Amino acid sequence: MFLTREEEKALDGEYGPGLQLAMRILVKLGDLFGAERLLPVRSAHVSGISYKTAGDAAIGFLEGLCEMGARASVLATTNPCGFDKRLSGLLELPDQIVSAQEKLLALYRRLGLKMTLTCVPYYQFRPERGSHLAWAESSAVVYANSVIGAFTNREGAPSALAAAIAGRTPDYGLHRPENRQPGLLVDFSFRPRDEVELWAAGFYVGQVAKNAVPLLRGLRGLSDWELKGLGAAMASGGMTAMFTLEELSGSRRAPEGLEKVEVGREEVTSTLEKLSSAEEPDLIFLGCSHCSREELALLAEHLRGREVRRPFWICTSRHVRASCPELVRAIEASGALVIVDTCVVVSWVEKLGVDVVATNSPKAAYYLPGLSGVRVRLASLKECVELASSKGAG
């Protein structure tokens, strides 16, 4: 790998051991993937923020970086952590868990990261089209590449943090224009009835696409929040880090020679059967990925005049919640809670004694059983409102 003189100095430790360690991580990663150089990045987004998923090993690693004097040199945002303090009366967590989570956040602050604590940092800090990033949250990576038109690989937590400190990332993968071309044509032969069917189709596409960039044909007029959830589902189903919609590709014809896959109701039904339970939920939640203002507006409309009869959590970012207080008031007037900083997927929801969670997110349905031992019922946003306010709720 070619390094500039300044990069060589950093790698040799002339600017301190913290930056040196970050450079070593990035150079090793670049060598592994055949990168010829490092690229400047405009921002990094770091995962591994929740103590539930990061554990004590992350605390030790971050303490070492702080002792070395490491600090972010570019805008660096953070993924959700393990709890919202508003839930302290519901989630009676052991003191050890609470103190470990707080210590983890304090260490990230010392490293200069912003406590955005959200998987949708682009609603607060939207990168420019064509800018190079080092983002680790899979759903944000897909959104950045596919909707915004920025350039980022699907980083791991250590490499995203190293990029935040060094302000650079190896030039390989989706940073290279030639690797962003479609490698699979996906024909949608049915019209999804709601976002759950759309996102289940996305989960299936992620499974079959493997490392290829899928070109989606047959989808029209999707909203921003639907695109957000579609990408999140693809990234959960496989390793998809970018997709292209024929409607937005600027070309009327798909490239010749692409392998073709058809997605119909049969594939969607099969996917839903694998991910979803038909049981009555103990908790309903929306916001995986974190809800946008558009989703909060839909929720406020559907909840108008209703009373929530079982726990209903809506996860979003501090930035989005603060931007629309009138919508939050309308939602919480029903008894639902608009919570920030966390997501049920990385929270300690099992401490509530919850057995079944209802959500509209295939991503959550995929991860929750393994992380928290709960079963998941997939239901649309509208259906989740009905479940939360149904008279038969316990």
Instruction: Tell me how many helices (H) and strands (E) the chain has.
Output: 14, 14
The percentage of residues in the chain with a pLDDT greater than 90, rounded to a whole number, is 90
Does pLDDT of 81 surpass 90?
A: yes
Q: What mean pLDDT comes out for the span 20-44?
A: 98
Residue 26 banded pLDDT, cuts 50, 70, 90: very high
Judged against a pLDDT cut of 80, whether residue 123 lies above it is answered with yes
Distance, CA of 206 to CA of 288 (rounded, Å): 17
pLDDT for 250: 58
Mean pLDDT of all residues in the chain?
95
Instruction: Please state the CATH superfamily assignment of the domain spanning residues 5-176 in this structure.
Output: Aconitase, domain 3 (3.30.499.10)
Cα 240 → chain centroid: 13
Residue 88, pLDDT score = 76
- Interhelix angle 265-275/195-209, nearest 10 degrees: 90
**Tens-digit pLDDT profile for residues 58-76:** 999 999 999 999 999 999 9
CA distance 244 to 89: 44
CATH 3.30.499.10, applies to 276-389: yes
Which neighbouring-strand residues pair with 200?
none
pLDDT of residue 392: 52
Q: Is-above-0.85 flag for pTM?
A: yes
pLDDT category of residue 394 using cuts at 50, 70 and 90: very low
Q: What is the C-alpha separation between 163 and 8, in angstroms, rounded?
A: 16
Residue 252 has pLDDT above 70, yes or no: no
| Phi, psi angle pair for 262, to nearest 5° | -110, 135
pLDDT in tens, 302-328: 999 999 999 999 999 999 999 999 999
| 372 touches 350 (CB < 8 A) | yes
Q: Residue 28 has which token pair?
A: 């090793």
CA distances from 238 to 152, 202, 383 (A): 17, 10, 27
- Is pLDDT at 108 greater than 50 in this prediction? yes
Residue 92 has pLDDT above 90, yes or no: no
Residue 373 main-chain phi, psi, to 5 deg = 70, 25
Residue among 155, 146, 177, 145 at smallest CA distance from 77: 155
Residue 243: CB atoms within 10 A of its CB come to: 26
Q: Is it true that 5-176 and 276-389 share their CATH fold?
A: yes
Residue 393, pLDDT above cutoff 60: no
Domain boundaries, the chain: 5-176, 181-273, 276-389
More confident residue, 296 or 253: 296
